[in-house]
């Protein structure tokens, strides 16, 4: 509920402070007095774009601030949490525009974007203007009206849960199928590559080791010759170096008693002899390892050639990289098999959820078709009371080609404005004033069934008078038992139903500038204002009496 609206420096409004009550607030005033300007200022709170032309006083910024009582409005509180804004029992929304045209918006002193502001305020205020009836034309609005009146809340929630689960599984299934299709294109080639690598069955570093062994085998004769010659000189020739070293060490030993210095040379000679013998043994050992084996060379050459060929094919440099490719191919081929199992499972789940969607969707359709004729009868009756006696209202329910988040139905509100038997969509068949009255009837019908925000009607009674205007007033007053309503009107029959009456007027300030003002009328002032709506600026006694009768009724 709107507790207070404060407007500063907006168009010809210097300062206004409005405190509506919780029922039916009537706003009247002469044409051009500024009623639409007040609505324009309010639209800034609702997230409309700012226009610097509204700043008459360029030295001050424009500030529009609204305070709402949001106790019990759980949907709004959830929206605050989603926007990460602190929750309080009263919500203060402020919009500021400076002389440069820069606009800022705040919710509970937290800066917000216009998009967030619009999302939040549409849960607080429904600004219904004469030519702003797009909501009635929207499929979602028509669906929601029928579902509210059919009390489909629980059933629709169940359907939407099933639909979301179905869509989630369907999207996952389609993704997996696309993945499988892509993989299948490469599967045969990947299998060939896998089989080829599996057949050669390389072990780690095998190609590199084979290359090193071949180098040794190709140089085997030279290696053996060199090793043999070295060993022959050291240990097997007619005068082996090792034996000669031993003999010279013995000679040194024989003179060490007369030449003590010879002893150390003897020891060194003995050490050289031992090293020469050890080298000879090592040469013999290496010679024994090197063998001329043509079969081994052929096998190594075959493995090396195969390895080099596969390395070039896969654009890698080592055996271990080939092994990694082999393992990766194995994983991908296994994943293809697993993917097939996943698709089979997802397809089963999709069918199960699709059945649930069809079942709950059929129940939702049946409920809608059951309530639709009753809605048509009730709206038709209400339209007759508000000045459209020849109008016939109908609710058309057609099946959609495929289910949507709101069910399996397309609901269309139809109107035959003149008993012609030719039903058209409401926005084609109704004028702007008629659309406003249709909206009023619909909102009156659902008022007790759903939480509505503050409703603002701008001249909803345009084009009617007399009894029809009185019925509009009755509908508004009845609606105001459950919701706060602010109604701008020129009809005395409507104005008389208000619980609070605001009068908008212009006055000249001390600085000579014209300002829009607003005030709450006392009981006798309200009678006079209604009488002026009936009989002009100087109402007769009859007009005054008529105004009293309307107010007392």
Query: Would the pLDDT of 448 be above 70?
Result: no
Residue 130 confidence class, pLDDT cut points 50, 70, 90: very low
**Average pLDDT of span 200-224:** 82
Looking at residue 230, its pLDDT comes to: 85
Residue 30 CA: distances (Å) to CA of 277, 443, 488, 537: 130, 28, 11, 10
Determine contact, residues 415/391, Cβ cutoff 8 Å. yes
Rg (CA), the chain: 48
Residue 469 confidence class, pLDDT cut points 50, 70, 90: confident
**Average pLDDT of span 64-76:** 88
Q: Report the alpha-carbon angle 83-89-93, nearest 5.
A: 55
Give me 9's structure tokens.
Answer: 């420096």
Dihedral of CA atoms 479, 481, 486, 489 in degrees, nearest 10, equals: 60
Looking at residue 191, its pLDDT comes to: 79
Looking at residue 451, its pLDDT comes to: 66
Short-list 303, 307, 300, 304, CA closest to 326: 307
Rounded-to-integer distance, Cα 220 and Cα 222, Å = 6
Give me 16's structure tokens.
Answer: 């206004």
- Predicted TM-score (pTM) of the model is 0.62
**Average pLDDT of span 455-479:** 80
**Average pLDDT of span 86-110:** 88
Tell me which H or E stretch contains 351.
helix 319-385
Short-list 501, 509, 507, CA closest to 532: 501
Determine contact, residues 232/284, Cβ cutoff 8 Å. no
Determine contact, residues 471/385, Cβ cutoff 8 Å. yes
Q: 3-class DSSP state for residue 22?
A: coil
Rounded-to-integer distance, Cα 547 and Cα 534, Å = 8
Instruction: Write down the mean pLDDT value for the chain.
Output: 86
Residue 489 CA: distances (Å) to CA of 469, 482, 528: 10, 20, 15
Rounded-to-integer distance, Cα 138 and Cα 128, Å = 15
Query: Would the pLDDT of 9 be above 50?
Result: yes
Query: Would the pLDDT of 288 be above 50?
Result: yes
Strands 407-416 and 13-18: unpaired
Largest CA distance in the chain: 166
Q: What's the pLDDT tens digit per position in 389-412?
A: 899 999 999 999 999 999 999 999
Looking at residue 76, its pLDDT comes to: 86
Looking at residue 133, its pLDDT comes to: 54
């Amino acid at each position: 509920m709107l507790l207070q609206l404060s407007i500063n420096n907006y168009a010809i409004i210097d300062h206004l402070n409005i405190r509506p009550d919780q029922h039916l607030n009537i706003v009247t005033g002469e044409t051009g007095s500024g009623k639409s300007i007040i609505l324009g200022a309010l639209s800034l709170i609702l997230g409309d774009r700012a226009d610097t032309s509204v700043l008459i006083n360029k030295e001050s910024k424009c500030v529009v601030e609204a305070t709402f009582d949001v106790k019990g409005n759980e949907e709004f509180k959830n929206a605050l949490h989603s926007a990460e804004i602190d929750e309080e029992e009263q919500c203060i929304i402020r919009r500021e525009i400076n002389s440069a045209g820069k606009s800022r918006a705040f919710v509970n002193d937290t800066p917000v974007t216009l998009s967030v502001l619009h999302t939040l305020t549409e849960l607080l205020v429904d600004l219904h203007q004469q030519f702003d009836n797009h909501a009635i034309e929207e499929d979602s609005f028509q669906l929601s009206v029928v579902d509210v009146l059919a009390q489909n809340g629980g059933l629709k929630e169940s359907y939407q849960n099933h639909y979301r689960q179905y869509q989630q599984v369907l999207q996952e299934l389609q993704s997996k199928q696309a993945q499988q299709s892509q993989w299948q294109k490469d599967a045969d080639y990947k299998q060939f590559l896998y089989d080829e690598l599996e057949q050669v069955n390389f072990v780690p570093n095998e190609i590199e080791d084979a290359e090193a062994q071949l180098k040794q085998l190709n140089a085997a004769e030279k290696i053996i010759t060199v090793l043999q010659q070295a060993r022959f000189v050291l240990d097997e020739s007619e005068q082996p170096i090792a034996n000669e070293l031993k003999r010279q060490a013995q000679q040194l030993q024989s003179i060490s008693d007369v030449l003590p210095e010879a002893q150390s040379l003897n020891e060194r000679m003995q050490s050289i002899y031992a090293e020469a013998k050890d080298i000879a043994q090592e040469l013999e050992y290496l010679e024994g390892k090197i063998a001329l084996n043509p079969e081994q060379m052929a096998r190594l050459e075959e493995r090396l050639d195969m390895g080099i060929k596969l390395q070039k094919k896969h654009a890698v440099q080592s055996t271990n990289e080939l092994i990694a490719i082999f393992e990766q191919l194995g994983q991908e081929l296994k994943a293809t098999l697993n993917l097939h199992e996943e698709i089979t499972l997802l397809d089963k789940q999709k069918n199960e959820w699709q059945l649930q969607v069809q079942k709950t969707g059929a129940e939702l359709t049946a409920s809608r078709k059951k309530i639709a004729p009753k809605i048509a009868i009730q709206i038709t009756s209400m339209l007759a009371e508000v000045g459209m006696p020849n109008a016939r209202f109908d609710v058309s329910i057609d099946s959609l080609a495929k289910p949507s988040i709101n069910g399996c139905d397309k609901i269309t509100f139809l109107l035959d404005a003149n008993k012609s038997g030719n039903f058209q969509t409401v926005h084609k068949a109704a004028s702007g004033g008629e659309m406003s009255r249709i909206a009023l009837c619909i909102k009156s019908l659902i008022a007790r069934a759903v939480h509505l925000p503050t409703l603002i009607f701008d001249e909803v009674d345009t084009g009617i008078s007399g009894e029809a205007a009185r019925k509009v007033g009755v509908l508004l007053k009845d609606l105001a038992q459950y919701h706060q309503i602010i109604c701008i009107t020129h009809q005395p029959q409507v104005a008389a139903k208000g619980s609070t009456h605001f009068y908008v007027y212009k006055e000249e300030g001390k600085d000579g500038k014209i300002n829009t003002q607003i005030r709450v009328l006392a009981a006798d002032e309200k009678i006079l204002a209604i009488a002026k709506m009936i009989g002009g600026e100087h109402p007769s006694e009859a007009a005054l009496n008529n105004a009293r009768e309307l107010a007392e009724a």
